Structure 1
Amino acid sequence: MRSLICGSLAYDNIMQFDGRFSESLLPDQLHKVNVSFLVPTMRREFGGCAGNIAYNLKLLGGEPLIMATVGQDSAPYLDHLRQLNISSECIRVIDTAFTGQCFITTDADSNQITAFHPGAMSFSHQNQVADAGSVKLAIVAPDGRDGMLEHSEQAIGLGIPLIFDPGQGLPMFNGEELKHFIELATYVAVNDYEAELLTNRTGLSLSQIAERVQALVVTRGELGAEIFTGGEKIVIPCVEADTIADPTGCGDAFRAGMLFGLSNDMDWATIGRLSSLMGSIKIAQQGPQNHAPSLAEIEDRFFSAFGYRYR
């Protein structure tokens, strides 16, 4: 059965500055910055949390259904999804806006300056979860603020189990709003930084959050992940990657593993291990949607890493 993925679709414009920002920005002149960086290389990637999660879920043999809003420039992305055989039936085109755009400039020291234009994401609340039809599970990932609130409430109102994945959207909400999300959610998934922000804003400890949901998942990068469920903490090891190329989208790959595992009634240890593997596969490739292992390769790599087969 299909998994509903509410979140963003965006273009990632990634540029490389061969110099150092520190050599171009004068500390005593930061109150009147007027600077230009020559970026000889640039690439555009298909991104956004919903797109990245759906891409990885499709690799696993799942059935992703994206609910998102895109703009007048969305034709290449929609064609990309058609080629992947990912449904666009719940993707709304806003003709008066651009698709969400991220502009990332990285210097020689790997420092980054990023600008993000939400564009059509701001209209995500125009989509209704009820229009998705029959789905087994839903995830609310970073999106327009109103859309995240309304889609969470709509999913629970329809009896659909919900993963709350606030990601970079977390700073948009105050403590009471985040508590509301937690009360609605069946599962909560955050990285270690987001976990700190979530506890600070809500005043709830990780154990208190875990008591309010069926599972709290905290990813910790190269340290793996922790799953708090049923009064226990399951430690998930990090799967060694072939190479470290680009961390962009690793969290989304992990979320796809969660969706697939939960949809197939796996135990939490296996769900965490599969999710960790998907992040490891992704980090070895530039861009969030350029890794393309076959399903057989994923299954074999899981067996090699953990000594048993997940299916």
Structure 2
Amino acid sequence: MSTPRVLICGSMAFDSIMVFEGRFKDQILPEQVHILNVAFLVPTLRKDFGGCAGNIAYALKMLGGQPVPMATVGHDGDGYLARFRDLGIDSTCLRKVDTEFTAQAFITTDLDDNQITAFHPGAMSHSHLNTVAQAGQVALAIVAPDGRDGMINHAEQLAQAGIPFIFDPGQGLPMFGKPELDRFLELATYAAVNDYEAKMLCDRTGQTLEELAQHVEALIVTRGGEGSWIFTGGQRHDVPCVKASEVKDPTGCGDAFRGGLLYGLSHGLGVVKAAKLGSLMGALKIAHQGPQNYHFSREEISTQFNAAFGETLW
């Protein structure tokens, strides 16, 4: 049986990751935030391949899935395209925009795993030039953070094509007001947010999580070290966090989770078991620096899944 092709609409970016060997809370004075002017000494600097589509595709490919990332890169993106070709990831829906830089994220993390990020969209702003029809036949998709028009267009195109998809607004959520968010939830099959985004989604739509879940087959809320909530069928299922061997870098953990989620859903594991696989993928990623610098065989992942949940994976 052929492996289901999964369309991943989202960003591809370069991440410049810096570690502040202190705590932001000790450097930022609450009574002075109106004249905020702080500098953090970051002895370590690393540049990684990143972006939501890139990270999710990497995780899904590691699991044996068939990701089809749909994204834009800039004139400096040849190395990223070559990397994906070397990994055997379908690159037919990756567009190069010669007039722009590839999207760039500048991420500073403190000792409490808090992050401050500056993001330059670059080529990502042209994501609307890509169309779902370019991908051919796919079984499942995700609309992850991307250019605003691209996210709107791709959601509409997926719904028109009858392709089930996850709405994953991520850090792009502030770009949308209530009408757009209501429309996304109307079109989507699933929705996935972290706990901070969940609160923002509730505030902007005027609905509770339970009410939001009624618009989709399942609402997935990731909660970091507290695990995740899966709202489906009028119930909330609590999926525990898998204990990581060590905690090095949270960058890309949410995307690793989504890679596991997409694999599970596209292979008929059900949303709760898919979320458990996502939890394991997040734990595997956090033990490594950077969003795409971890690697495990399917056998290793299966063994760790069984140890964490007492269930067979495949």
TM range (shorter): over 0.9
Aligned-pair distance for 1:32?
A: 8.8
Q: How does 1:233-272 map to 2 (within 5 A)?
A: 233-272=236-275
The 1-side partners of 2:41 and 2:231 are apart by 46
- Structure-2 residue corresponding to 1:161: 164
* 1:143 positional shift: 0.3
- 1:13-34 CA-to-partner distances (Å, cap 9, x unmatched) read 1234567876699x8697595x
The Cα offsets for residues 69-103 of structure 1, whole Å up to 9 and x where unpaired, read as 11000011111111211111100000000000011
Shift of 1:257: 1.2
In 2, Cα distance between equivalents of 1:207 and 1:109: 31
Whether 1:127 aligns to 2:139 is: no
Rounded to whole Å, the distance in 2 between the matches of 1:105 and 1:253 is: 20
Q: What amino acid does structure 2 have at the position aligned with 1:275?
A: G
Task: Structure 2: give runs of 5+ residues left out of the alignment.
Answer: none
| Post-superposition offset of 1:162 | 1.0
Equivalent residue, structure 1, for 2:86: 83
Cross-structure match for 1:71 = 74
Give the structure 1 partner of residue 62 of structure 2.
59
Deviations 1:216-265 (A, max 9, x none): 11111111111111111111111111011111111111111111111111
> How many angstroms does 1:38 deviate by?
5.5
Q: Indicate which of 284, 287, 291 corresponds to 1:284.
A: 287
Match of 1:182 among 182, 185, 189: 185
Task: Return the offset for 1:208.
Answer: 1.1
1:13 to 4, 13, 16: 16
**1:269 shift after superposition:** 2.6
Q: Which residue of 2 aligns with 1:303?
A: 306
> 2-side partners of 1:65 and 1:20: how far apart?
39
Task: Give the 3 Å change call, closer, same or farther, for CA 135–244 of structure 1 in structure 2.
Answer: same
- Secondary structure at 2:159 match in 1: helix
Distance 1:300 1:71, change over 3 A: same
Determine the C-alpha separation between the residues in 2 that align with 1:5 and 1:263.
13
Return the TM-score normalized by structure 2: 0.92
What is the correspondence of 1:107-126 to structure 2 with a 5 Å cutoff? Answer: 112-126=115-129
Q: 1:172 to 1:250 in 2, by over 3 A?
A: same
Residue from 136, 148, 151 that aligns with 1:148: 151
> Secondary structure, in 3 states, of the residue corresponding to 1:228?
strand
Q: CA offsets per residue over residues 25-70 of structure 1, 9 Å max, x none?
A: 9x8697595x766644311011000000000001110000000011
AA paired with 1:291?
A: Y
Instruction: Report the Cα distance in structure 2 between the residues aligned to 1:29 and 1:171, rounded to whole angstroms.
Output: 21
The CA distance in 2 between the partners of 1:140 and 1:269, in whole Å, is: 20
Contact in 1 for aligned 2:113/2:250 (Cα 8 Å): no
CA distance in 1, matches of 2:186, 2:32: 47
Q: Structure 1 residues 213 and 127 mapped into 2: Cα distance closer, same or farther (>3 Å)?
A: same
Q: How many residues align?
A: 310
> Cα RMSD (Å) of the superposition?
2.2
Q: % of aligned pairs identical? A: 60
Alpha-carbon contact 2:164-2:188 (below 8 Å) kept: yes
Q: 1:156 to 1:109 in 2, by over 3 A?
A: closer
Q: How many Å separate the matches in 2 of 1:112 and 1:205?
A: 27
Q: Secondary structure at the match of 1:218?
A: strand
Cα separation, partners in 2 of 1:112 and 1:57, compared to 1, 3 Å: closer
Query: Structure 1: which 5+ runs fail to align?
Result: none
Residue-by-residue CA offset, 1:181-236 (whole Å, 9 max, x unaligned): 00010000011111100000001111111111111111111111111111111111
- Which residue among 85, 93, 96 is the counterpart of 2:96? 93
Distance in 1 separating the partners of 2:88 and 2:213: 36
CA apart distance, 1:105: 3.5
